[in-house]
Structure 1
């Protein structure tokens, strides 16, 4: 849905600009009422309250000011005060409709829905054109499950519009809300646009327009609506929560969302949207008891709050407390027998913890309750696709899109994925698994993906003593956007692969910038973890174990984040195992997520080496029996989680013993500005504290304060290592190379040598054209941390510049086992060893290259050549044919001239292999093509001898 300007049926020429308060003729002395309204409009609630109370002395305005106070008290969650103010305002006959409307709103907040319905019905009997009362009545009727009556009540607003009786921003907003609830989304969009055009200062129009966009995943236009509200009233809690939802759903900016939630709760501690969204964040973080606690104040106020009851029930479902989930289910359905959202919500949170099959059953229960709940059709379609039932998936998605064409996920999955994307793909069946490949990439993927995945299947079957339940399906998508839509229904996702237990989706290695073989091995491991645990394995456990499995499969697949984990150990910040999932769910940036993956991997390494893999398998089984981590560790390992944490720390100290004494600080750890400020306040002569405060100030953008803190640290202790390291960084940023060098050399001389210290000294040496000095620093860096790639990369550059290819090659061999995603490294190795006719090494590098960039002809050429030279001619021919088909495409169009030489080499190799296989006519054709492309090449000239 896009933002649309203009009217639904006809353009509206003009509209009245209405106050947020009562639209009655007021005497001149009523300016205080206008002033209160203006303060309320701007969100100055304390000032508005004070002015209204002062104005109560004017008896003629007392009732209107009591009404204003009642609105303010409802906005700020002071419901008893609101009720008292309404009782005082009720004596004014002219105000009684507004009083009645607010009484109904108050009753809804308190859970007295039937009384609200009676009040609103009475108001409409007195004035059927009271549109705000009508929309509230319709919404409340829906809320109690009388959907037909709710629809009818709201539909009446369209009649008023057709009779040209709805023109003001306020009434247009009521109509827009009615259209939204009755699922006329396009019309609602247009009407809200008309309302905003009629009076941009009427804030409810943009608030409800924003929530319409939010409902349909249109986050950009939703943000525009909420921002327009917050420009006028920065304290509007509904707009704040709308922005919080956008931040959470569009980019999972948890901190940004919580900041706005806290602001809304400071305005109204009982704000329903804020408390529910806070609970959702805790559900996402798998802090289920915290989510329940978040909702307790709301349910104490309103025991009938459907969303709060639903989220509480969902928390119990995720805790595997079936009795309490059933109790909340009954409670919700008693309040609203058609409230399908209950099951849909539980399903949506369930899929976040791998419960895909259960999500299907929950959504099916939702449709029993309400057969027209289209969100569950979308969820059913997506989740059937995740268990490899494309037929049912398509049926549900088409039904959803047919009835809710503005649901972006329904559109993406139905109109784009099934109707267009899948037509460009083919299904290929191996012995145990079905694959979906793009037709243009199928030949190569069949050759490499299928054997890899079948090998993983055999390996894990034996290791886990478990055969996964069929169907098993693996899909590799050429276009990252198609991969994202297939995976989550939306066009953006940052990962390379996802496992749903029965289905794996992955990006294609088209770009050649990630190790796709490692990704597939990792995701195949998840199949066993999810199925063996009946979808109950915690994220930290399955991710750590999958990373460990990849590391065991091939040494070059090991991840390298030892310094981050060592720094966490040094600062006593290694995550405890009992709440380890929070390291994933509450990570503030991508680096923290990667660090969580790495620690989880090392945890699995520790368990395997200490207790054996059989214990890991037993833990998966017990997760499947709905036991939790502390219980499982006690039963399987025989220790409490606290004792495990102690032993794991000891394991890390031993593992990273070689790092002791070096300066290896990770500056990302120094972010807690308030903590470091308190530390220097407590001990102003602590140089290290001042240095840490300086880092935190840099991270917070307070650069001048950071400079002052750094100067203070160096004055207190000129040799303080962190301060000198920061000073060096600052000097390098200011291009003061000699100053930076002095600080770094001070660190080395004072016993604080380190990996990054040496890298910076090497960079300074290179800037001074001192290659000898740079080499010494880089070799020292590599000896300190042999598992990190930066020093090796710089060494290769220096050796190549100094024309020392043998030394560069030696370093490249080390780098290839560390930098698992660099096709360039292994290509250089293949070329170098090819010139030296080390064909087994060429084969090794070519195969490693294929794990990164299988669509690059060079790797097929080098592999084909290596196979040819080692007399495996049939396999060589297959590889060289792939190289030929890839390079032929490059011979057409721009850049074709530069491709002639490599193409001639491919054809020359093809000539040799076809001749060896007795295909002499074919060999002569290849010779002719090679001569046509580059007759001057030695490899081509030598063919003349071959074909005589």
Structure 2
């Protein structure tokens, strides 16, 4: 479509039309005036009148309209409507006045009045695309569904006529929005409509807003954010800009998004989209009363507001009030019965609460109303994928990607599907693992063994057994994990996510030099599978995370979050969140440590509940959640009132905090702001038990390589029981100081203390392996290498250490595992590995794989004499022979060089 003539400044055009209209009304009735002037004089007079009018009435009109628009933007809807209605009644020639009036009426739910305004305006401005586009919603919210189709056809026909002649910027933006809603090519809409307006008039705000809306709709949040940052330079005070910027930022920076919503509401405290955003965040935080209050605030502005009633339905569902939920949904659809956005919103919020089956049901309802609703289709695809219904999910996602090629999330997902099609699939006892083919060879069996163990232990403990397969996907690239999990790249910091029967996890390959313990991560995530299955996905996040972290520590004391000096401080401060509000701590935490503390505190709540009320009480709470009973009611039924629970846990948490380092001075009041080693030594003499001072003194000494000096504060901290195993922390300092001073036994003790507290202390494990190898303490080497492989199974050094130790200890089964992994890592000497594998299999009396690997060694190195001897032995010794006879035969039948070459 090409516009043969495009006039950007429609404000100027409307002013000119107004001037001409005023002149026509003032002079046309007076025939004597027209006859009194000549044609030339008449033309000159008209020009003078137009010029004078453009200086006076038009400028007054423009200011009046701008003021009315600003009233609307500031939430003064009644005032803006009154001004617009007066101008419409006065008969001012400008379509923008009735459009502003309709906008006020739709915002406040005056749908019948909006219909009357629209019909009258359409008679006067039948060529207005912007008016006709706005009229579609007017008709929908008045229940005139039969007229909508005709109105859309008329609008499209008018667009075709307009593109052959005159079209204003308002109409061009409206046309772009209409075509976007019809699923037209997004790139063409952007280039032919929005970009063209911005090129001709860089200060026209609506072009920026429309561009951002399109980008957000397609999942391209970076483009949306960049566009809106440019729009901020226009310095127009409108809440829409800040609301859209919040939507663009919320997936990457929740705190910044919240700040933008705060700005929007400062401009307009009645801005419905921003209030909806707040209500949704309150639901995410499980602050349902707060969300309900915000929804009621929205209904005071517009008693028919569909999104407010839809969110009321969500709250009712999450509270188990299913009859009320139906009433709320009916209210949301009362004015537009086939509004697909209602069911899409309800379903999306339920899916965000892990109610994927219920969410999918609502998306199907949305698609019944509008089969072309791509957002509902794509949400349904993701729901199906997270329910483990992969065939259906991928099919729908593919259809969306085909219908909407510029949908970034759909494109990313389908591209990922092509990459993961090459993954190796492992299956056993209802568990399916998908992972990179090389990684599967290295530690795939270990992954399956861990998951099978977790299934047996945790399913028995929580009295549940999943009745459908469990899918675990492990991604070697963090972006692939993020796309599968969240739909977009990003999500740094997440190690694994569980949706119920589907687990996604980052492999060690995606985590740099110090990866986390993958065994701990998978145990944690599988615990989610069990508890979500038990509750039918009806559990608050804090409870789900708390149980999983608690079960990590039950499995292995070095796993999971544990008490630390920083956690101690947070438990004794305002950072301690009441149990009734714990889920909020997981949403948009102010820092990474705040999020980690939320995990730790939640696990502490589980410890408290089990200590005070027993494991059966916890199971009863989970059973209540499964029946649809809200968490606060379930806790009250089995632990007492919520207020009492908050108070009791607060006492329990503070007691635990005070027990940690009870003889330590934890004050920070008199700490020097900075200082060198001498400064800290002097300060510690006056404060010998101050943790923070001892830590700074040790750190200063380590940085200065003053190892003897470092041992003094570190040993004192050890005596006080506050040495902790965080990365780069005091226990690592202590081990290094002993190593530098040649204190072998003390170093080993420090390493062991570190490993007891840390699940991912890879440097300590590497050092322990080296010590064990040098002293031929093969049990230690085997133990340390197995622990290291639970952190980093992709490095040959740990498999090699494990293989050597296993051979020395006659643990040939472990030797086979380690040597097989080494073969998958493109070794320098594969023939030697095949020979060692042949020996390991021979020691287990498995002659067939032993012969196979002996032959593989000889294929790679034909003159490999030890392999010749082994193959000769394997060939001549039969299973019927007595071991003693076999040994004698071996001695008598050692092949000659010629025989080896013949072989």
Q: Tell me whether the two structures share a fold, i.e. TM-score over 0.5.
A: yes
Q: Does the CA contact (< 8 Å) of 1:138 and 1:153 recur in 2?
A: no
- 808, 827, 831: which is aligned to 2:766? 827
Cα RMSD, aligned residues only: 3.3
| C-alpha distance 503-91 of structure 1, shift in aligned 2 (>3 A) | closer
Deviates more, 1:476-485 or 1:121-130: 121-130
For the 8 Å contact 1:66–1:88, the answer to whether it is kept is no
Larger mean CA deviation between 850-859 and 759-768 belongs to 759-768
Question: Residues 451 and 124 (structure 1 numbering): CA distance in 2 closer, same or farther, change over 3 Å?
Answer: same
Give the C-alpha shift of residue 640 in structure 1: 4.5
User: Are 1:202 and 2:204 counterparts?
Assistant: yes
Q: Aligned match of 1:649 in 648, 651, 676?
A: 651
Q: How does 1:158-237 map to 2 (within 5 A)?
A: 158-166=159-167, 168-184=168-184, 185-190=186-191, 191-237=193-239
Residues 87/457 of structure 1: CA separation in 2 closer, same or farther (3 Å cut): closer
1:760-779 map, 5 Å: 760-779=696-715
> Distance in 2 between the 1:371 and 1:247 partners?
30
Equivalent pair of 1:169/1:194 in contact (CA under 8 Å): no
For 1:130 and 1:511, the matched residues in 2 are separated by: 55
- Structure 2 residue ranges without an equivalent (≥5): 23-55, 867-890, 897-903
1:724 paired with 2:671, answer yes
Residue 780 of structure 1 pairs with residue 779 of structure 2: no
C-alpha displacement of 1:451:
0.9
Residues 861 and 906 in structure 1, CA contact (< 8 A), matched pair in contact too: no
Matched position secondary structure for 1:722: coil
Report the counterpart of residue 281 of structure 1 in structure 2: 281
Compared CA separation, residues 91 and 579, structure 1 to 2 (3 A): closer
Question: For residues 391 and 744 of structure 1, do their structure 2 counterparts lie closer, same or farther at Cα, with a shift above 3 Å needed?
Answer: same
1:338 aligns with 2:338: yes
- Superposition map of 1:566-605 within 5 A: 566-571=568-573, 573-605=575-607
Query: Based on CA coordinates, which of the two structures has the bigger radius of gyration?
Result: 2
The corresponding residue for 1:609 is 611
| Matched residue, 1:417 | 416
Matched residue SS, 2:465: coil
- The SS at the match of 1:458 is helix
1:81 deviates by 1.9
Q: Superposition pairs for residues 379-778 of structure 1, below 5 Å? A: 379-413=379-413, 415-418=414-417, 420-494=418-492, 495-511=494-510, 513-571=515-573, 573-638=575-640, 640-643=642-645, 645-646=647-648, 649-650=651-652, 652-654=654-656, 656-660=658-662, 662-664=664-666, 721-725=668-672, 727-728=673-674, 731=675, 737=676, 741-742=678-679, 745-746=682-683, 749-750=686-687, 753-754=690-691, 756-778=692-714
Deviation, structure 1 residue 272: 1.7
**TM-superposed deviation, 1:836:** 2.2
The Cα of 1:887 is off from its aligned counterpart by: 4.3
CA deviation vs aligned residue, 1:754-784 (integer Å, no higher than 9, x gap): 1x32221123234555321111112223333
For 1:496-540, what per-residue CA distance to the aligned partner results, in whole angstroms no more than 9, with x for missing partners? 111111111112222561111111111111111111112111111
CA spacing shift, 1:395–1:574, aligned 2, 3 Å:
same
Shift of the alpha carbon at 1:239? Answer: 0.6
Shift of 1:877: 2.8
1:138 is aligned to 136
Please tell me whether the aligned partners of residues 21 and 68 of structure 1 are also in contact (alpha carbons under 8 angstroms): no
1:872-898 deviations in whole A, cap 9, x for unaligned?
A: 32442342132133142xx4xxxxxxx
The 2-side partners of 1:505 and 1:389 are apart by: 15
- Which stretch shifts more, 339-348 or 907-916? 907-916
Q: TM-score if structure 2 supplies the norm length? A: 0.84
Can you list the C-alpha shifts for 1:259-305, whole angstroms capped at 9, x where unaligned?
22222222222112221112122122221221221132331221122
Question: Within 1, Cα distance between the matches of 2:615 and 2:12?
Answer: 67
Q: Distance between the aligned counterparts of 2:794 and 2:703, measured in 1? A: 38
Equivalent residue number for residue 39 of structure 2: none
- 1:172-200 per-residue CA deviation (whole Å, 9 max, x = no partner) reads 22222222222223332121111111111
Local SS of the residue matching 2:426: strand
Matches of 2:328 and 2:151, distance apart in 1: 24
Distance 1:61-1:388 versus aligned 2 partners, 3 A rule: closer
- The 2-side partners of 1:559 and 1:472 are apart by 26
1:419-442 per-residue CA deviation (whole Å, 9 max, x = no partner) reads x12321243220231222223322
Q: Which residue of 2 aligns with 1:817?
A: 756
Give distance in 2, aligned partners of 1:23 and 1:747: 79
Shift of 1:610: 3.2
Q: Partner of 2:249 in structure 1?
A: 247
Contact 1:914 1:923 in 2 (8 A): no
Stretch moving more, 256-265 or 63-72: 63-72
Contact 1:247 1:257 in 2 (8 A): yes
**Inter-partner Cα distance in structure 1 for 2:317 and 2:323:** 9
Deviation at 1:638, TM superposition (A): 4.2
What is the rounded CA distance, in whole Å, between the counterparts of 1:320 and 1:200 in structure 2?
A: 51
In structure 1, what is the Cα distance between the partners aligned to 2:719 and 2:831? Answer: 43
SS at match of 1:427: strand
Give the CA deviation at 1:652. 4.1
Asked if 2 retains the 8 angstrom alpha-carbon contact of 1:140 and 1:150, the reply is no
* Superposition deviation, residue 26 in structure 1: 8.4
Instruction: List per-residue Cα deviations over 1:142-169 (Å, max 9, x = no partner).
Output: 5556352453244235303541433x43
Contact 1:77/1:268 (<8 A) preserved: yes
Structure 2 counterpart of 1:871: 810
User: Are 1:82 and 2:62 an aligned pair?
Assistant: no
In the alignment, structure 1 residue 377 sits paired with structure 2 residue 369: no
Distance 1:377 1:913 in 2: 55
C-alpha displacement of 1:837:
2.4
- How many residues are paired up? 820
For residues 29-52 of structure 1, the C-alpha deviation after alignment (integer angstroms, 9 at most, x for no partner) is x9xxxxxxxxxxxxxxxxxxxxxx
Distance 1:213 1:396 in 2: 22
Q: Contact between 2:572 and 2:654, CA under 8 Å: does it hold in 1?
A: no
Q: 1:390 to 1:778 in 2, by over 3 A?
A: same
> What is the alpha-carbon distance in structure 1 between the residues aligned to residue 459 and residue 411 of structure 2?
38
Does the CA-based 8 Å contact 1:904-1:931 persist in structure 2?
A: no
The corresponding residue for 1:857 is 796
For residues 907 and 782 of structure 1, the distance between their equivalents in structure 2, rounded to whole angstroms, comes to: 47
| CA gap 1:433/1:908 in 2 versus in 1, 3 angstroms | closer
TM-score, with normalisation over the residues of structure 1? 0.80
Measured in 1, the distance between the counterparts of 2:509 and 2:536 equals: 34
Q: What are the Cα deviations for residues 899-934 of structure 1, in whole angstroms up to 9, with x where unaligned?
A: x7xx8986785576467567589669869989999x
Q: Work out whether residues 820 and 837 of structure 2, in 8 Å CA contact, stay in contact via their aligned partners in 1.
A: yes
Tell me, what secondary structure is at the counterpart of 1:473?
strand
Instruction: Name which of structure 1's ranges 432-441 and 637-646 shifts more when overlaid on structure 2.
Output: 637-646
1:226-284 deviation per Cα after TM superposition (whole angstroms, max 9, x unaligned): 22221112522111111122222x2142x322322222222222112221112122122
Q: Which moved more, 1:115-124 or 1:837-846?
A: 115-124
Q: Answer whether contact 1:782 1:788 (CA < 8 A) is retained.
A: no
2:110 and 2:3 mapped to 1: Cα distance? 40
Residue 269 of structure 1 aligns to a residue in which SS?
coil
The SS at the match of 2:195 is helix
SS at match of 1:328: helix
Aligned to 1:95: 93
* Structure 1 CA distance for aligned equivalents of residues 346 and 724 of structure 2: 44
Q: Could you say what secondary structure the match of 1:325 adopts?
A: helix
Alignment check: 8 A CA contact 2:73 2:237 kept: no
When residues 252 and 317 of structure 1 are mapped into structure 2, their CA distance, relative to the original with a 3 A threshold, is farther
**8 A Cα contact 2:306 2:333, kept in partner:** no
* Separation (CA, whole Å) in 2 of partners of 1:652 and 1:564: 13
Question: Could you say which residue in structure 1 is the equivalent of 2:119?
Answer: 121
